[in-house]
């Protein structure tokens, strides 16, 4: 027992071979499951009576209204459901439209194609952006590029300790892509036709570009306005660290998107959107009609345990305040940049009450940044095991919540956030001192 605990503490159990084996097995199982879903479908409907891509059906239905010149219709649940039934059959479940009007541009463009083609284009494009972002975090960013200290990316399965190993084993490009593709949240996102891959790409790419190209980073942050619940923590980090050019670019991007949306769809679309937020808040979130077990937030955890709505909001608000305070301390301090970036990714998900398991794809940039910092400065006790648990958590999040009423993603993210803060107390490097972990030629 003592040896097992020590292996978990040190991370010695996380061998390179084991990482590759588990990743390959999960990826093969995921692809097989998706192929089975498509092979057993009847046209656009899967064997359970749902449209292929499930949640993507609401995007396509909304886009069809945009093409007809009725951009306000998706915000009316009965109208939206009527269109989904028209497209996919009377027995199709209801998939609500909960996005700001910005996303109507994307929906309208996708609706120009047949549904199957639009779904394939959406999945391929967002998956490609996600993989490019993880690639940039690991291999391309000047922040993450060493100076004459070896070649290759370090594998997650390196020896543990409080200082980097002098002879790390280099992981190839294929291994990095395998880990990124096999991340369980990717399967969940692809299966639901959701946009978590796009969220992860925008957030991760903005953090890679933040210092080298602050205006570009600001634009990328601003584009996250299509899912505004994940942008609450971003201004806090930018203001705390004095990155005003990026802050201004993000604000200007949101302003320009608002103007363009108003000109394209008319001011009435905003009235329709604001009216629809009550349905999203009350039915989808507070009453949990979409299933609290799918929502990975402290709010959903409290509601599953029977807490009244005001108490659940109070708990979620207290957590958001604590996360904001931690980010201010972290981003104003001398912690290494990857820790700051990972903390912002984690806080962005933890701070909102409305975060589903497919949104946990945004944890991939956090995991990449944390692995980068670990191999630059060494992993502390429990850090590698906690990082592996975070990587696996989306796979079990729904089933664990069904049985225990605990959204597994929340304690996993909180544990990593606490370990990250502990790490900053023993790391005294400046933001520019991060080097040597990921150099490629």
pLDDT at res. 172: 63
pLDDT at res. 358: 92
Rounded alpha-carbon distances, angstroms, from residue 215 to 45, 211, 240, 251: 43, 9, 17, 11
pLDDT at res. 214: 97
- DSSP state string for 189-206: HHHHT-SHHHHHHHHHHH
Edge-to-edge order in the sheet of strand 170-171: 170-171, 152-154, 438-439
CB 333 within 8 A of CB 316: no
Examine the pLDDT at 145 and tell me if it is beyond 60: no
Distance CA 189, CA 356 (A): 10
Segment 174-220, tens digit of pLDDT: 888 899 999 999 999 999 999 999 999 999 999 999 999 999 999 99
Average pLDDT score over the chain: 87
Task: Give the mean model confidence (pLDDT) for residues 39-47.
Answer: 89
Segment 102-132, tens digit of pLDDT: 999 999 999 999 999 999 999 999 999 999 9
Length of the chain: 441
CB 209 within 8 A of CB 216: yes
pLDDT tier for residue 373 given thresholds of 50, 70 and 90:
confident
- Rounded to 10 deg, the angle between the 363-377 and 383-404 helix axes is 150
Examine the pLDDT at 272 and tell me if it is beyond 70: yes
User: 378 forms bridges with which residues in the sheet?
Assistant: none
Among 91-100, 214-223, 367-376, which is the least confidently predicted range?
A: 367-376
Q: Parse the chain into domains and list their residue ranges.
A: 30-145+166-435
User: Which of 292, 310, 420, 418 shows the shortest CA–CA distance to 356?
Assistant: 292
Distance CA 15, CA 17 (A): 5
SS3 content of the chain, % helix, strand, coil (to 5): 70, 5, 30
pLDDT tier for residue 142 given thresholds of 50, 70 and 90:
very low
Rg of the chain taking only CA atoms, in angstroms: 22
pLDDT tier for residue 266 given thresholds of 50, 70 and 90:
very high
Q: Which residues contact 125 (CB under 8 A, 6 or more apart)?
A: none
Q: Which residues contact 306 (CB under 8 A, 6 or more apart)?
A: none
Examine the pLDDT at 256 and tell me if it is beyond 90: yes
Tally of helices (H runs) and strands (E runs) in the chain = 19, 3
Examine the pLDDT at 299 and tell me if it is beyond 70: yes
Q: What are the phi and psi torsion angles at 436 (to 5°)?
A: 90, -5
CB 354 within 8 A of CB 297: yes
pLDDT at res. 314: 98
pLDDT tier for residue 159 given thresholds of 50, 70 and 90:
very low
Task: Give the mean model confidence (pLDDT) for residues 146-168.
Answer: 38
Task: Give the mean model confidence (pLDDT) for residues 140-164.
Answer: 40
- For the question of whether the overall pTM of this predicted structure is more than 0.85, the answer is yes
- DSSP state string for 326-371: HHHHHHHTT--HHHHHHHHHHHHHHT-S--BGGGGGGHHHHHHHHH
Segment 213-246, tens digit of pLDDT: 999 999 999 999 999 999 999 999 999 999 999 9
Segment 300-353, tens digit of pLDDT: 999 999 999 999 999 999 999 999 999 999 999 988 999 999 999 999 999 999
- CA angle (430 as vertex; 425, 431 as ends), nearest 5: 110
Distance CA 59, CA 271 (A): 20
Q: Which residues contact 341 (CB under 8 A, 6 or more apart)?
A: 207, 210, 365, 366, 369
């Amino acid at each position: 027992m003592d040896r097992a605990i020590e292996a978990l503490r040190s991370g010695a159990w996380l061998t390179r071979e084991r990482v590759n084996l588990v990743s390959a097995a999960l990826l093969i199982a995921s692809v097989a499951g998706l192929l089975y879903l498509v092979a057993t479908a009847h046209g656009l409907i899967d064997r359970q009576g749902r449209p292929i891509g499930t949640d993507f059906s609401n995007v396509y239905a909304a886009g069809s209204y945009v093409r007809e010149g009725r951009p306000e219709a998706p915000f009316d649940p009965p109208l939206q459901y009527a269109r989904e039934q028209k497209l996919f059959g009377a027995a199709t479940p209801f998939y609500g439209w909960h996005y700001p009007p910005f996303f109507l541009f994307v929906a309208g463009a996708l609706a120009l194609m047949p549904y199957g083609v639009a779904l394939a284009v959406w999945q391929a494009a967002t998956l490609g952006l996600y993989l490019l972002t993880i690639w940039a975090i690991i291999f391309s960013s000047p922040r993450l590029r060493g100076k004459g200290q070896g070649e290759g990316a370090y594998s997650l399965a390196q020896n543990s300790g409080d200082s980097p190993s002098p002879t790390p084993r280099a992981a190839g490009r294929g291994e990095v892509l395998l880990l990124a593709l096999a991340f369980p949240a990717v399967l969940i996102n692809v299966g639901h036709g959701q946009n978590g891959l796009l969220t992860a790409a925008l957030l991760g790419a903005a953090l890679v570009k933040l210092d080298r190209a602050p205006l570009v980073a600001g634009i990328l942050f601003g584009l996250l306005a299509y899912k505004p619940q994940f942008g609450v923590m971003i201004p806090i980090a930018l203001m705390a660290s004095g990155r005003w050019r990026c802050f201004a670019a993000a604000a200007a991007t949101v302003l320009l998107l608002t103007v363009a949306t108003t000109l394209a769809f008319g001011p009435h679309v905003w009235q329709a959107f604001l009216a629809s937020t009550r349905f999203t808040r009350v039915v989808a979130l507070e009453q949990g009609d979409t299933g609290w077990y799918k929502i990975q937030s402290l709010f959903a955890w409290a509601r599953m345990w029977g807490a009244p709505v005001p108490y659940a909001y109070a708990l979620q608000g207290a957590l958001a305040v604590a996360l904001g305070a931690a980010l201010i301390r972290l981003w104003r301090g001398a912690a290494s940049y990857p820790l700051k970036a990972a903390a912002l990714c984690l806080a962005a998900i933890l701070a909102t009450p409305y975060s589903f398991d497919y949104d946990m794809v945004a944890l991939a940039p956090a995991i990449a940044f944390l692995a980068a910092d670990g191999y630059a400065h060494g992993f502390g006790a429990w850090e590698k095991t906690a990082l592996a648990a975070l990587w696996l958590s989306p796979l079990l999040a729904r089933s664990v919540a069904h049985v225990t009423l605990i959204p597994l993603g929340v304690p996993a993210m909180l544990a990593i956030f606490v370990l990250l803060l502990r790490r900053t107390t023993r790391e005294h490097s400046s933001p520019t001192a991060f080097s040597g972990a990921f150099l490629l030629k």
